Chain A
């Protein structure tokens, strides 16, 4: 099974580890929490934990979108660049209104434009992967390049600076107010979970990811499923952009740029399979939380950035090795 996705080739020979990735991810979280709670004063406090969760919300939304795409046996390398583009689009639309007086109407228009941008980007990805059968890796890579460039160009053309200010306060609240951001993210997360595990689409998506040939023979409309999947990816990237733009109070093409590795890392740690079919929103949430806890704890321990990066890499490695070991053991039985 190739790692690039675009619909499985029906060779489930490698197999996926059984057992419970969710349990592993949960154990990791508990372990991390306890370790840092013991070692680091100030970790297990209300304000700190609140910061951890709130700052992880955009990452979570991106990871949810990525989860859908990975389940379809694809990959989305464009989501973080789309965040920048969506942010700039929002800034362009809403700053054109009367700055902070833009008010509710401005906010609604801005939101609509932002979400539409995310959907459009996802649709391009989905159409190329589903109908043109191009490899997801390259399609999303180039779209990401394009979106990033477009974001910068748009910002510069409209506003002559790369960062746009003066967004309406109603909009800023969505991302800036911890309560609203949390509620929105939780609602989206629950909706995503419901979509994935409780609807026809969710099942169809899983089948396409496990074995696209079976899905085709069984009457599923594989191309439409793939399209919808990438649209979801783009949509969730747009929501992440809404949160980031609100929290940072600016619209910028660089929002979220550094997050791509963490997005993929979190979904992998959570247990979503790169070869498709298997994945849960809950697992992803645990993966994101784990990365956030580790990042926060190590920062409080005054470990430098690079140490944190190394630890993250080691954890991903450990999770992958564990999974590979489980698969091998099952293959032998």
Chain B
């Protein structure tokens, strides 16, 4: 019998950086395949290729025995592939039923009038199948994330998919919803659907899947029937032993003087009793999976979001106010999404680089810009961060990812901060630039700045940090000093803890 999905030799590189190095796997109809791996291992890229969002550089795919090379997501959908993404794609201002039927409304008498009765009825059927009790004519914007996820799955079922890809389907589900989803998947499996289940919840993967594929560094690190694995063996395969990148030599630890103290920080549904201390000259990492609350923590520390309980102290004095005030006290924040809130893409490099500390380059009383000083500072920082091929007048949007990140760093380091917070600082950046950024961060820490690095890449954190905190579901799940950097332990500390149902 033909495999529902068969991929052979899939390769993909972004900007010269290989992400998938020859993936071969098969999913049988009526079976559930678990796909696991660290962030950056290639799971999303592989599934995006299957889902028609990306084209592979090499390799072939067949679906149901027939060659499959979609150029758009619509092509993939037509071939029976349904991809339920982690980021939700429903339209909040439409009802559940409308979202379910958006491309195939039931019509009245064949004319372009929506048969609302039929739409709501069919919608209600689908909702019942996935275990949602909401009415089909409810607006999606009123659903929780977990409920929306179930609607997305319902949509896939309604579209008569033959292959269902689920990316982290249970992260936002409560225990009861999860149980319902898992039994729903078994029903679908019995009906002949092939399911690819991507998840970090390894025990769940072993519970529900028939077979498992472990990806690491763009290659298949392990594959086999689920019964041959344990959580421990999966974790071991995920982290591997080779060191992928070059990291700067291990630092001498800082002087242990507390710099930034966070005491029982809390915000409902976001963070719970977070306490940590960042010391002078320390490189402190914060590891965790998506949704653990790390970026939210950073935003609260920087004053972009409020927190209802707890305090933050810098050098013993309470920290309050918005970003402007905190920058004045010496905080700096490199955000997660450099294109959205890191750089003005149309503005020149020089303007971006001098945005935070421009006041220091002006003369009172009118705050006239001292152009000579500005040029000199831009040149100085460009050298400092090793920025090349980025003339100061070029719009920042034209730079490579690595250069963009360097411009952002230069912006914050124009005047040395006391605390630098970075959220996913090397995401989407090539190896060479990464190394330079790590070196830069080490040099910065050596001068006494406290550096807080949030990252989903465990290897990166173990490579450059003195200490790592692991966040999990809005709380600190563990603290690891350098001598206890065992990657399996760190990963396990990040895995969601469920009250088993």
Contact = CB atoms under 8 A, between A and B. Distances in A.
Interface of A: 10, 12, 15-16, 18, 194, 198-201, 203-204, 206-207, 210-211, 213-221, 277-278
Nearest to B323: A219
Contacts of A215: 355
A200 B358 contact: yes
B323 A216 contact: yes
- Sorted nearest first, the 7 A-B pairs with minimum C-beta distance are A210-B344, A200-B367, A219-B327, A213-B341, A219-B324, A12-B345, A218-B355
Contact of A214 (B324, B327, B344): B344
B395 interface: yes
B355 A211 contact: no
Contact of A203 (B341, B346, B358): B358
B282 interface: no
Given A200-B362, A219-B323, A207 B369 contact: no
A214 B362 contact: no
A214 B343 contact: yes
Nearest to A211: B344
B347 interface: yes
Contact of B395 (A18, A199, A206, A217): A18
Contact of B367 (A10, A12, A199, A207): A199
Interface in B393-414: 395, 397, 411
Contacts of A206: 344, 347, 351
A199 B358 CA distance: 9
B366 A199 contact: yes
22 contacts: A10-B341, A12-B344, A194-B368, A198-B368, A199-B362, A200-B359, A200-B367, A203-B354, A203-B355, A203-B358, A206-B347, A207-B344, A207-B351, A210-B346, A211-B344, A213-B341, A216-B304, A217-B323, A219-B323, A219-B327, A220-B324, A221-B324
B367 A201 contact: yes
Q: Dominant SS at the B interface?
A: mixed
A203 B369 contact: yes
B340 interface: yes
Given A207-B344, A211-B345, 12 more contacts: A12-B397, A16-B346, A199-B362, A200-B359, A200-B367, A203-B358, A207-B351, A210-B346, A214-B343, A217-B302, A219-B327, A220-B324
A201 B367 CA distance: 8
Interface of B: 302, 304, 322-324, 327-328, 333, 335, 339-347, 351, 354-356, 358-359, 362, 366-369, 395, 397, 411
B34 to A, nearest CB: 36
Contacts of B354: 203
A11 to B, nearest CB: 8
A175 to B, nearest CB: 27
B356 A210 contact: no
Contacts of A12: 339, 344-346, 397
Nearest to A224: B324
Contacts of A207: 344, 347, 351, 355
A25 to B, nearest CB: 19
B429 to A, nearest CB: 19
A217 B335 contact: yes
Contact of A211 (B324, B341, B359): B341
